[in-house]
Structure 1
Amino acid sequence: MKIYAQLNENKICTGISQLSGEVIQADMIEIPSADNSYLWKKYENGVWSTGTFEPQSTAPITEFEALKVENVALRNDLSNAVIELSTLIAMGGM
């Protein structure tokens, strides 16, 4: 097995792959282990950066707020469904 860091167009590791054979590609750098510490680091001139280059979201903050509200509603729906299911089971309905 060979383990590779997958680089994006900016030479930043965005994923780790374990493959059955050798791959020779500029965007696949062999690494010694499936170590997530390579994620978001830049590989340039044969050297890994010490800092990370994590992606920054470009989504508007209002989108995050809407998702937060939706998440709370879904959590409440799930909680209510669990309560209803527990009640049915307690009544011998299932």
Structure 2
Amino acid sequence: MFKYAVINEDGICTAVSYLAEEVQQENMILLHDNDDVSLWDIYSDGGWAPGKPPLTSGDSLQDKMGQLEADNKAMMLALADIYEQMIVLRSGGNS
């Protein structure tokens, strides 16, 4: 099995693929066992540097934090509901 990093025109890793056969493509870099490559890493001059995912248009750090906080609150409420249902079931009662 051959492990490849798929890079875009800027040298940014957009995927890591395992292939049954060796390939020769400009946008696919053969990885070795000691290569620790992740998405968004940057390939340049025969080596890899850590990269960061780009912010999509319209996304700001504040927007993302707000969404994460809302998601976290929703999960906490769902867990509280499940916990209450478990207590009712253990006590043999109905809700």
What TM-score does the superposition give when structure 1 sets the normalisation length? 0.70
Quote the RMSD (CA, aligned, Å). Answer: 2.6
The letter for the 2-side match of 1:81 is I
Distance 1:75 1:8 in 2: 39
Asked whether the equivalents of residues 4 and 16 of structure 1 are also in contact (C-alpha less than 8 Å), the reply is yes
Aligned equivalent of 1:85: 86
Sequence identity of aligned pairs in percent?
Answer: 29
What TM-score does the superposition give when structure 2 sets the normalisation length? 0.70
Aligned equivalent of 2:54: 56
Aligned equivalent of 1:8: 8
Distance 1:34 1:2 in 2: 13
**May I ask how many residue pairs the two structures share in their alignment?**
90
1:20-59, aligned counterparts within 5 Å?
A: 20-33=20-33, 35=35, 37-39=36-38, 40-45=40-45, 47-49=46-48, 51-58=49-56, 59=59
Unmatched segments (≥5 aa) in structure 2: none
